[in-house]
Amino acid sequence: MKGIISGAAAILIVSFILLFANYQLENRQGHVGKDTITVYNWGEYIDPDLLKQFEEQEGIKVIYETFDSNEGMMGKIEQGGTSYDISIPSEYAVQMMEERNLLLPLDFSKIPNFRNIDPYFTDLPFDPNNKYSIPYFWGTVGIAYNPTLLDGQTFESWESLWDASLRQKLILVDSAREVLGVSLNSLGYSLNSTSLQELKEATDKLETMGPNVKAVIGDEVTQLMINNEASVALTWSGQAADMISENEEIDYIVPKEGSNLWFDNIVIPKTAANIEGAYKFINFMLDPEIAAQNAEYVGYSTPNVAALSFMDEEIIKDERFYPDEEAREHLEVYENLGLETLGVYNELFLKFKMGLR
C-alpha cells in the first residue's frame, strides 16, 4: 500500500511539474491571452518608457525580444516556436515574409492613426497598398566623419572612401548589401543589381579599398566615433544622429551618386496569439505624440507627419536626416533579390572580409 501511495505521489509530482513547465512555456511563447503581447524588434529601437506607458494605458503586458538581422528574425518566426504578435522587418524582408506566408493582412479599421503617416511613405513597391506593413522608421546609408581628425578630406562622392589618406581609418558596417552597395553606387549600378558581372566588378573594386579599412563591425562604431577613436564610418543615418548628439564635431553626408533609402515596418506575424492586442499596440505607436517621443529617443526619421509638430524644430529641419523629396530622388529602396542572389551578395562580402585579415 505504501508503495502504491508513493507511486501515486510520484505521479502527482511529475504531473504538477509537467503542468508548471507547460504553463511556463506557454507564458514564454506569448500564449497568455488578451493580457500579453510579444514584440520582436531590433535592439535599442524603441523608447522603453513607451512600453511601460502602453502597459498602463491598455492593461496589456509587453514581452519584448530583440534580433540583429532580418534573416535571423524571419527564421525564428518561420520556426513558429514563439507567438510573436508584432515584428519590425525592413522593406525587402516584408516582401520575403509575404512570399513565405508569414504575415497577416492588416485591418485598417483597427488602426485609425494610420492617417498620420505621410503618403510619401505608403503604397511602396515592397508592399502595395500597405497590405501587410506600416512604416515605423526610415533613413539613409551614408558617411559619418569627424573633420577635426582628418586632413581636409571631404565625402561628397563615394570615391572618397578609396582615398589613400584614409589608410586604416575607415570603419564599415557589417552588412553585405550596404558595403557592396557603396561599390555598386560608385560604379553607377543599381543597389538591387542581380548581374554577376556587375557584382564581380563591385567586389573587385571593393577589394582595392582594403588598405583603408580599419574594421568591419556593428553598433560598436557609434561609441568609437563619439570617443574620437575612429574618424570615418559607413553607417545608417540614425546611428550617425546618435554620434552627432554626443560629439558635435561629427558630420554626416549621403554622397552625390546616391544611396539606400530604407524603411523598417510594423507587421503582425502569422504566429500572433493576441491580434487585438497587436492592433492596439500599432495604433498606440502611431499616435503623434508617442511617435514624436519615440523618434527623438531612437534618433531615426519618423514617417509620421503628424508627429513632426511635437518634435524639436532643429531635428526635423536637419536635411541630413530629413532630406527633402528632391534629395530622395537619388536614393534607392532595397528590393527582395531572392535567396539565391542574396547568397551571392553574402558570399562576395565574406570573401572581401576574409581578404582584410
Give per-residue pLDDT as tens, 117-137.
999 999 999 999 999 999 999
Q: Residue 39 pLDDT > 70, yes or no?
A: yes
Q: What is the DSSP secondary-structure string of 34-85?
A: GGEEEEEEETT-S-HHHHHHHHHHH--EEEEEEES-HHHHHHHHHHT-S--S
**CA nearest 127: which of 154, 106, 151?**
106
HSE (side-chain half, CA atoms, 13 Å) at 254: 25
pLDDT at 68: 86
Q: Does the structure show a pLDDT above 90 at 44?
A: no
| Residue 349 amino acid letter | F
How confident is the prediction for the chain on average, in pLDDT? 90
Residue 248 CB contacts under 8 Å (≥ 6 apart), including other chains? none
Please tell me whether residues 199 and 328 are part of one structural domain.
yes
Same domain membership, residue 335 and residue 307: no
Section 255-271 average pLDDT: 95
CA 107 to chain centre: 24
Give the mean model confidence (pLDDT) for residues 337-356. 93
pLDDT-derived band at 69, boundaries 50, 70, 90: confident
The answer on 94 and 154 residing in a single domain is no
By residue count, the chain amounts to 357
Distance CA 83, CA 105 (A): 17
For residue 101, give the C-alpha cell. 506566408
3-class state of residue 108 by DSSP: helix
Q: Are residues 79 and 42 in the same domain?
A: yes
Asked if residue 194 and residue 55 are part of one domain, the reply reads no
Which domain CATH number covers 339?
3.40.190.10
The grid cell for 265 is: 515596418
Sequence letter at residue 169: K
> Residues 97, 123: contact at Cβ < 8 Å?
no
Does residue 276 carry a pLDDT above 60? Answer: yes
Over residues 91-99, the mean pLDDT reads: 95
Report the pLDDT value the prediction gives residue 330, as an integer from 0 to 100: 87
Whether residues 83 and 150 fall in one domain: no
**C-beta neighbour count of 352 within 10 angstroms:** 23
Please indicate, yes or no, whether residues 297 and 204 belong to a single structural domain of this protein.
no
Identify whether the C-beta of residue 301 lies closer than 8 Å to the C-beta of residue 139. Answer: yes
In percent, the amount of the chain with pLDDT more than 90 equals 82
In the predicted structure, residue 16 carries a pLDDT above the cut 80:
no
Domain-embedded: residue 256: yes
Domain total for the chain?
2
DSSP annotation string for 184-208: HHHTT--TT---HHHHHHHHHHHHT
For residues 211 and 284, state if they share a domain.
Answer: no
Establish if 59 belongs to a structural domain.
yes
27 domain-assigned: no
Question: Mean pLDDT throughout 23-36?
Answer: 55
Within-domain flag for 3? no
pLDDT band at 33 (very low <50, low <70, confident <90, very high): low
Q: What percent of the chain has pLDDT over 70?
A: 90
Read off the pLDDT of each residue in 224-233 and give the average, rounded to a whole number: 96
Angle between helices 176-186 and 196-207 (to 10 degrees): 90
pLDDT of amino acid 324:
87
- Of the two residues 69 and 252, the one the predictor is more confident about is 252
- Asked if residue 303 is part of any domain, the answer here is yes
Q: Say if 299 falls within a structural domain.
A: yes
| 62: containing domain | 33-137+264-316
In this structure, the strands spanning 213-217 and 170-173 are parallel
C-alpha cell at 226: 563619439
Q: Quick one: 211 and 282 in the same domain? A: no
Question: Does 271 map to a domain?
Answer: yes
Q: List the one residue out of 340, 344, 349 whose CA is nearest residue 96.
A: 340
Q: Which residues of 56-88 are buried (b: 16+ CB within 10 A; e: fewer)?
A: eebebebbeeebeebeebbebbeeeebbbbbbb
pLDDT of 9 higher than 60: no
Same domain, residue pair 164 and 312: no
pLDDT of res. 14: 44
> Average pLDDT of 53-61?
98
Q: Is 248 found in the same domain as 183?
A: yes
Lowest mean pLDDT among 11-15, 91-95, 199-203: 11-15
On the CB side of 93, how many CA atoms lie within 13 Å of its CA? Answer: 20
Q: Is the dihedral of CA 142, 256, 155, 312 positive or negative?
A: negative
Task: List the beta bridge partners of residue 90.
Answer: 264
> pLDDT band at residue 26, thresholds of 50, 70 and 90?
very low
Does some domain include residue 338?
yes
Place of cell 573587385: 204
Both 199 and 255 in a single domain? yes
The letter for the amino acid at 83 is S
